[in-house]
A and B are shown apart, each in its own frame.
Chain A
Amino acid sequence: QVQLVGSGGGVVQPGGSLRLSCAASGFTFSSFGMHWVRQAPGKGLEWVAFIWYDGSNKYYIDSVKGRFTISRDNSKNTVYLQMNSLRAEDTAVYYCAKGSFSVASALDSWGQGALVTVSS
């Protein structure tokens, strides 16, 4: 079955950087787009970024454009989120999620999440 294992979370100072990873298994990783979604403590879900199956196109929520970069390595079945110029409001659990076969339809499987805390 689909398994997504996130890693790389931690505590970072404002203005700092962090890279999250999400290792995938149980499906043909190179055939599906991948998402990152975040959830601030006690708050709702917020879509952050999406990358095409082949990495050729990337999309972001406005609040992270120019600071975050989504990427993937299909040879390692892994998707990444490079986060730079971090702010306190970026504090959240970050989930990776698999896009559905019809990309627009849904995020059909989710990883366990990585907690990112931005604090001095």
Chain B
Amino acid sequence: QSALTQPRSVSGSPGQSVTISCTGTSSDVGGYNHVSWYQQYPGKVPKLTIYDVNKRPSGVPGRFSGSKSGNTASLTISGLQAEDEADYYCCSYAGDYTYVFGTGTKVTVL
């Protein structure tokens, strides 16, 4: 049950694209197509942004997309906007109804 590995921070200018990686093992990320991503503003509640690797809940802008290759999942924010500045966490199903979160990434809009 070790946390998934994410970069501490990524940054980009408005309009650019940024990608956040999330690396796990074959027991979690690599073993299931159940990776989700959560956006969290400081002092606020996390919000589901992507589920099942690449599906967007209703209301989430289309500039958010997800993918996975092997033991690494990724979240891409295309056309970065000021309001996207937040912390982002990946989460993977790890079998037997257990879950593991990533270490978190701070996205900064320059």
Contact = CB atoms under 8 A, between A and B. Distances in A.
Interface string B61-86: 00000000000000000000000000
A106 B98 contact: no
Interface string A19-47: 00000000000000101010000001111
A104 B47 contact: no
Interface in A49-103: 50, 52, 57, 59, 61-62, 95, 100, 102-103
Given A44-B104, A62-B1, A105 B51 contact: yes
A50 B96 CA distance: 10
B107 interface: no
B37 to A, nearest CB: 9
Contacts, number: 70
The interface size bin for chain B is 20 to 34
A45 B51 contact: no
A108 B38 CA distance: 9
Interface residues of A, number: 27
B36 A113 contact: no
B91 A107 contact: yes
Nearest to B52: A105
Contacts of A111: 45
Interface string B46-64: 1110011000010000000
Interface in B1-48: 1, 3, 32, 34, 36, 38, 40, 45-48
Given A45-B38, A95-B45, 17 more contacts: A44-B102, A44-B104, A45-B46, A47-B91, A47-B99, A52-B97, A59-B98, A62-B1, A103-B97, A104-B93, A105-B51, A107-B36, A107-B38, A107-B99, A108-B48, A110-B45, A112-B45
Q: Which 6 A-B pairs have the closest CB atoms?
A: A106-B51, A106-B36, A44-B104, A104-B93, A47-B99, A104-B34
Interface of B: 1, 3, 32, 34, 36, 38, 40, 45-48, 51-52, 57, 89, 91, 93, 96-104
